Amino acid sequence: MTTIVIPRPGDPGPAASTERPVYEIQRLSKTYARNELVALQGVNLSLHRGEFVSVVGSSGCGKSTLLKIMAGLLPPTTGRVVLEGKPVLGPRADIGMMFQQATLLPWKTTLENIVLPIEIRNGRSAAKAASGRALELLRLVGLGDFANVYPGELSGGMAQRASICRMLVADPAVLLLDEPFSALDELTRDFMNMELQRICMERQATAFLVTHSLAEAVILSDRILVMKPRPGRVIEEVKIDLPRPRTLEMINTPRFGEIVAHIRDLLGKEAFV
Amino acid sequence: MSNVSDVSNADTVWIEKDALIDRIPRSVAMALLFIVVVAIWDLVTRMGWVSPIILPSPAETLADLIFVGQNLISGQYMLEALWTTTLTVFYAFLIATAIGFSLGVLVGETKFGERAVMPYLVAIDTMPKVAFAPLFIAWLGFDISSKVALAAFIATFPIVVATAAGLYAASENERMLFKSIGASRMQTLLRLKLPTGLPYIFTGLKIAAVGVMAGAIMGEFLGGGKGFGALIRQSASQMNTPRVFALIIYLSLLGLALYFTVVWVQRRLVFWNKSDQPGAIG
Ligand SMILES: Nc1ncnc2c1ncn2[C@@H]1O[C@H](COP(=O)(O)OP(=O)(O)O)[C@@H](O)[C@H]1O
Ligand SMILES: [Mg+2]
């Protein structure tokens, strides 16, 4: 008989050895000045190297707000965000991001899109120098033949795979993903999730995923933070003890069903109506 | 075994039919409409329903078209007039583009432009701009500079509005992407907002192309000079209606040339966005 381990929020858990966490977030809160809306209140969390953590919660509970603050795209109202020992005070090169839309620039080829972060930060010649690495990344996600194609010719799934490459090209210390596959159809989405797992395991990547799909969160994560709205806060942290590598077949196991049911209980029925 | 395979294709395959009028190819449709209009025109003048001073017959107009055409080809005074108007239109379009684009960037990119400059632009834009013609003539005299000024004045506003709108066109996600990869404001403007806004800017340029033509001719009507507009006014005052018709037709070729130059540049520059461009033919 297995039980779901539910540590206190903020407890680093067994993954934390003597090493200090990659990301440390303490007493974070955010109030949007425009409408005095309390989007986040008292959020604590830490991410450890190589860990995959997800946030689930109904829409509007502050998931994107949390991610944007972590990425340095939005200043917090109170609290602190520290990445690799240095406070996050703006966008940083060691953060890789991915959004719901692939947002590839239509006037650049796939390859040029992938080296865009390097082009912006380090200039054209650095971007040119990185094209070999970009091509390798494209091959990694099965887009090797599409390097010189314009994004208009890529399918939704291919475009998102290209945007994974763009996120990885500068070799970021941490990956922040905001519902990256929710615009894709279900079959493509399952496939992309397995790709993402493979890439993260190969690179020992530290990843933070925002999603509203419980199945997606469970299949990918080591830990899941469950959020509730008004004000946005983390109500629980759920450890996922399914073995790695995860497979899509695990979705049909009783263990998987138990975990999903537990999280659904935590969120309450009203969260999804 | 299902019995679907028993049914032969002849019973199940059907073809969706367009109405007859939708099946006419473009070239044929255009020729057809042209013939119908000219036939009605010919009928109206032949039967004497309309005085020839108001509406000349197609034959008279054709004769004048040939006359004006010969004058243009042999490089006589009409070619000189057309050249004057062409220069006016060309300079006005360049000036309108430069000023319109700069103001558009100011309005679309800075809060100051949006808050302080835009209200004044809207106020000026609502004025009937032809009313400024006497002022331009008083300031710049009767040669082409006053016509250039009026034409540029008329054509600037659509470019301002289109450029500002174009700069707003980049999506929230794209802006966030640029922010997250550490792009400066200038980089975001040049590498994201401007390219995204190009289709809008070209729509503004097409409206401006039509505007400079109207402005140049209006200026020549009101301010005299040596342009095509002066020729038209002269012929009109002599009740030479067929000549007026012929001159207008040649003038419209100048407008078309400018318009399709803009369309051509747009196709080359905005190669990734070929569809749904308002006003693009083909
Ligand atoms: N820029 C903003 N200004 C004011 N309110 C906002 C802004 N962005 C988001 N909100 C509000 O904050 C809450 C949390 O939003 P968000 O973080 O996007 O939620 P989620 O990603 O979980 O759907 C929502 O109620 C939303 O309406
Ligand atoms: Mg969101």
pLDDT band of A4, cuts 50, 70, 90: low
pTM of the predicted model as reported, rounded to 2 decimal places: 0.84
- Alpha carbon distance A86, B76 (integer Å): 78
pLDDT beneath 50: ranges in chain B: 276-282
Interface residues of chain B, partner chain A, Cβ below 8 Å: 171, 173-174, 176-183, 187, 191-192, 195, 271-273
Query: Class of the A2-8+19-94+172-270 domain?
Result: alpha beta
Residue nearest to atom 25 of ligand 1 (CA): A60
**Nearest ligand (C-alpha, residue A66):** 1
Query: Which numbered atom of ligand 1 lies nearest the CA of A212?
Result: 22
pLDDT band of A271, cuts 50, 70, 90: low
Q: Which of A105, A122, A124, A160 to mutate to test the interface with B (most CBs of B within 10 A)?
A: A105
Most confident of A199-208, A261-270, B115-124, B146-155: B146-155
pLDDT at B254: 93
Q: Which residues of A touch B171 (CB under 8 A)?
A: 101, 103
**Using one digit for the tens of pLDDT, what is the confidence trace for B127-144?**
998 999 999 999 998 889
pLDDT at A60: 87
ipTM: 0.85
Query: Cβ of B17: how many Cβ atoms within 10 Å?
Result: 8
Assigned CATH topology for domain B67-269: MetI-like fold (1.10.3720)
Take residue A184 and report the two structure tokens written for it. 């894709």
Q: Which residues of A touch B182 (CB under 8 A)?
A: 91-93, 117, 120-121
pLDDT band of A74, cuts 50, 70, 90: very high
Least CB–CB distance from B180: residue in A91, A100, A150: A91
Q: Give the CA angle between residues A220, A221, A225 to the nearest 5°.
A: 135
pLDDT at B50: 87
For chain A, domain boundaries: 2-8+19-94+172-270
A107 touches B at CB < 8 Å:
yes
pLDDT at B267: 92
For chain B, domain boundaries: 20-61, 67-269
The answer on pLDDT for A173 being more than 80 is yes
Pocket test for ligand 1, best of A31, A35, A37 (most atoms within 8 A of CB): A37
pLDDT at B61: 92
